[in-house]
């Protein structure tokens, strides 16, 4: 499959201003490095899940793709065309017809004074996709049906709908534009579990029927595993691991991914020989003060001296599988993580963990 979207060296750094003088002189005190140099490609027809904790940079990455946030540097190519500097009104409209977004909160996305029909029809009229009212009505009905809603929902208001129905309306609004790429930012996180399953199934059906490509942004690895072809794990503005979904989950090569996998909910009760859960200690560090070396090392139970001074690149560890960890260099398997997360004192010497060079199943 050819790549529909490519990000190269993408950075988004937000300036931190102090007092009024700093603001007037545009003299920042520092920068929040929300996205700090990532390379990412999404193949046509693929579902790529971007996973990470709050503050990882995953939502900012999505906002750059849909042109709601400007990148500081780096390039973005869509369907073979460089769209990095695409900001003119006419150009943006053409781009956004092909790149749509589904936000987390349908309660905020929908206008309480607008009917479902008007919400779905408005962008069609603005973009000149259906100038005649009859054409807009037909497209609204088609989009609602595709999203699993009856046509008579068109005249309802948001307060008359359940949370799941509201999110289906948002999906219908995206479908009406006929997009190639849909950026779905935590699209089911506010819904009941049963409704989540229905909407995930709907998204996968639409992918098959319409050839859609998804960037699925989530903090939930179990959801990513269900819906995605590949998973990219972000931490503090960087991609820590990326690869086929099943491989990333079952053969994690980065300690951060392995820790997330260990606490992800599973449908079956854990067996007696199931590995212990690894609880990460502390919050994600401030993105304006990125740690030296590997940015995960302050929370990593396997960190050794090199991790504190040198940032690892993404190493190839298998077919289409990469991990940014010194323990993954040369294709080594990851040692089993301890259930507790002891953190070595700053500056203390620590050798490479035992077992780091042993091939076997990842923890």
Residue 284: inside a domain = no
Q: What is the pLDDT of residues 1-54, one digit of tens each?
A: 799 999 999 999 998 877 666 666 677 788 999 999 999 999 999 999 999 998
Alpha-carbon distance 161 to 98, whole Å? 28
* 89: in domain: yes
Q: What is the pLDDT of residue 344?
A: 38
What integer pLDDT is reported at residue 363 of this predicted model? 29
Give the pLDDT mean for 59-64.
97
| 72-94: average pLDDT | 91
CATH of the domain at 197: 3.40.50.300
Provide the token pair at 133.
Answer: 């009212």
Structure confidence at residue 231 (pLDDT)? 98
DSSP type of residue 154? G
Backbone angles phi, psi at 114, to 5 degrees: -115, 135
pLDDT of the residue at 270: 53
Please tell me the predicted confidence (pLDDT) of residue 265. 67
Determine how β-strand 47-51 pairs with β-strand 213-218: parallel
List the one residue out of 200, 304, 313, 314 whose CA is nearest residue 248. 314
pLDDT of residue 273: 52
pLDDT in tens, 109-144: 999 999 999 999 999 988 888 889 999 999 999 999
* Dist CA 94 CA 129 (whole Å): 11
Structure tokens at 67: 């042109």
- Rounded to whole angstroms, what are the CA distances from 148 to 5, 26, 130, 202? 28, 49, 22, 8
| Triad 98, 103, 106: Cα angle to 5° | 120
> Does a structural domain hold residue 291?
no
Report the distance separating Cα 77 and Cα 60, nearest Å. 17
At 61, which helix (H) or strand (E)?
helix 58-65
Distance, in Å, from the CA atom of 280 to the CA atom of 299, rounded to the nearest integer, reads 7
Residue 205 has pLDDT above 60, yes or no: yes
Structure confidence at residue 91 (pLDDT): 86
If you average pLDDT over residues 345-351, what whole number do you get?
Answer: 41
Q: Is residue 144 part of a domain?
A: no
Q: What is the structure's pLDDT at 339?
A: 63
Q: What is the rounded average pLDDT of the residues 60-87?
A: 95
Cβ distance 57 to 34 under 8 Å?
A: yes
**Is 76 a member of any domain?**
yes
Taking phi over 0 as left and psi of -120 to 50 as alpha, with beta for the rest, 211 belongs to left
Q: Predicted confidence band at 328 (pLDDT cuts at 50, 70, 90)?
A: very high
For the cut 50, the answer to whether the pLDDT of residue 354 exceeds it is no
Residue 155 pLDDT more than 50?
Answer: yes
DSSP 130: -
Query: What mean pLDDT is reported for the chain?
Result: 87
Q: How confident is the model at residue 358 (pLDDT cuts 50, 70, 90)?
A: very low
State whether residue 341 is helix, strand or coil: coil
Highest mean predicted confidence (pLDDT) among 90-99, 141-150, 277-286, 352-361: 141-150
Which pLDDT belongs to residue 88?
80
92 occurs within a structural domain: yes
Read off the pLDDT of each residue in 162-186 and give the average, rounded to a whole number. Answer: 96
pLDDT given at position 60: 97
| pLDDT number for residue 22 | 65
Task: Count other C-beta atoms under 10 Å from residue 194's C-beta.
Answer: 8
Cα–Cα distance measured from residue 151 to residue 141, given in angstroms and rounded to the nearest whole number: 5
Q: Which domain holds residue 194?
A: 3-109+180-252
Domain count, the chain: 1
Please give the model's pTM, rounded to 2 decimal places. Answer: 0.87
253-308 per-position pLDDT tens digit: 999 999 898 877 655 555 555 556 666 666 777 888 899 999 999 999 899 999 99
pLDDT score, position 349: 41
Residue 138 vs residues 142, 205, 288, 356: alpha-carbon distances, Å: 6, 21, 50, 61
Q: For 56-105, give the DSSP string.
A: SSHHHHHHHHTTSS--SEEEEEETTEE-TT--SHHHHHHHHHHEEEE-S-
For the sheet containing 230-235, what is the strand order?
99-102, 181-185, 213-218, 47-51, 230-235, 238-244, 321-323, 315-318
Q: Which residues are registered as beta bridge partners of 212?
A: none
Residue 98: inside a domain: yes
pLDDT tens per residue, range 217-228? 999 999 999 999
Give me the residues paired with residue 213 across strands: 181
User: In sequence order, what are the beta bridge partners of 10?
Assistant: 38
pLDDT of residue 102: 96
Residue 257 lies inside a defined structural domain of this protein: no
Q: Give me the pLDDT at residue 59, please.
A: 96
Q: What is the model's pLDDT at position 276? A: 61
């Amino acid at each position: 499959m050819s790549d529909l979207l490519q990000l190269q060296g993408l950075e988004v750094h937000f300036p931190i201003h102090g007092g009024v003088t700093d603001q007037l002189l545009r003299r920042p005190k520092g920068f929040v490095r929300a996205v700090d140099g990532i390379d990412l490609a999404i193949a046509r027809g693929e579902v790529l899940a971007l996973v990470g904790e709050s503050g990882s940079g995953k939502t900012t990455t999505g906002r750059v793709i849909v042109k709601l946030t400007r990148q500081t540097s780096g390039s973005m190519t869509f369907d073979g065309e460089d769209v990095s500097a695409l900001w003119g009104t006419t150009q943006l409209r053409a781009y956004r017809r092909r790149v749509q977004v589904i936000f987390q909160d349908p309660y905020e996305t929908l206008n309480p004074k607008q009917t479902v029909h008007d919400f779905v029809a408005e962008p069609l009229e603005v973009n000149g996709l259906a100038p005649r009212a009859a054409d807009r009505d037909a497209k609204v009905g088609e989009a609602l049906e595709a999203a699993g809603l009856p046509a008579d929902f068109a005249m309802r208001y948001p307060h008359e709908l359940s949370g799941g129905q509201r999110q289906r309306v948002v999906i219908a609004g995206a479908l009406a534009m006929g997009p190639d790429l849909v950026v779905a930012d935590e699209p089911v996180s506010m819904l009941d579990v049963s409704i989540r399953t229905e909407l995930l199934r709907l998204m996968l059906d639409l992918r098959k029927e319409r050839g859609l490509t998804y960037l699925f942004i989530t903090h939930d690895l179990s959801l990513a595993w269900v819906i995605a072809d590949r998973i990219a794990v972000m931490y503090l503005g960087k991609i820590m691991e990326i690869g086929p979904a099943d491989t990333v989950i079952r053969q994690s090569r980065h300690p951060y991914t392995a820790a997330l996998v260990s606490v992800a909910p599973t449908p079956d009760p854990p067996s007696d020989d199931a590995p212990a859960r690894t609880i990460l200690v502390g919050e994600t560090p401030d993105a304006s003060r990125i740690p030296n070396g590997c940015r995960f090392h302050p929370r990593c139970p396997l960190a050794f001296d090199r991790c504190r001074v040198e940032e690892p690149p993404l190493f190839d560890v298998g077919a289409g599988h990469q991990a940014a960890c010194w323990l993954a260099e040369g294709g080594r398997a990851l040692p089993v993580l301890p259930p507790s997360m002891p953190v070595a004192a700053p500056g203390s010497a620590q050798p490479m963990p035992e077992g780091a060079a042993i091939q076997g199943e990842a923890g």
